[in-house]
Amino acid sequence: MNRLFPILAPCALALLSMPALAAGPMTRFEFELETARIASTFTHARAACDALTGNTRDICVEEARAVQAIAHAELAFRRSGHLSDAAAIPVVRAEARYAVARERCDEQAGADKARCLAAAKAAQASALAAPRAAGGGVAPSSVEMRRNAD
């Protein structure tokens, strides 16, 4: 019996923790806390951007908005667990990356700016096409995120 205890104890603990791992959607309180955390993170990032000037400030603000938009999309998926919310995450990421890239292109002028914008648009189009090609509009990374969340 003494030899079985070291083997059975971790198994028993694992079985007892299963209900916690299989928890359903977030509660309203958890959702509100997470929403407040996202807002606070954005506020602090935006405050850090205020020290900058010119296009560097604009890029910083756009990056803060991108992080906020991605966090809200992931939170919506964690709250509902719907595949439509999972499919929205790569779209939001692609749009956020495009907005930041577009802001970075503002530093350039003329043909360089046009090439930069075209490259940003092409990157966005390929990022939006990748989840659709992977199967049914749901990116594998979003499915893995759901598994990790569960």
10 within domain boundaries: no
CA distance 145 to 78: 9
Which of 69, 74, 64 is closest to 103 using CA atoms? 64
93 within domain boundaries: yes
Residue 68 has a pLDDT of 95
108 within domain boundaries: yes
119 within domain boundaries: yes
3 within domain boundaries: no
Q: In terms of residue numbers, what domain contains 55?
A: 26-143
The one-character DSSP state at 25 is: S
pLDDT digits (tens, 9 = 90+) for 85-121: 888 999 999 999 999 999 999 888 888 989 999 999 9
Q: Tell me how far apart the 2 most distant CA atoms of the chain are, in Å.
A: 79
- Six token digits for residue 86: 């999972």
Compare 114 and 19 and report the one with higher pLDDT. Answer: 114
4 within domain boundaries: no
What percent of the chain shows pLDDT beyond 70? Answer: 71
pTM as predicted? 0.69
Q: Residues near 124 by Cβ (< 8 Å), separated by ≥ 6?
A: 94, 95, 97, 98, 101
Phi, psi of 73 (to 5 degrees): -65, -45
17 within domain boundaries: no
Compare 13 and 77 and report the one with higher pLDDT. Answer: 77
CA distance 11 to 18: 11
Residue 143 has a pLDDT of 53
56 within domain boundaries: yes
CA distance 106 to 100: 10
128: pLDDT strictly greater than 60: yes
| Domains held by the chain: number | 1
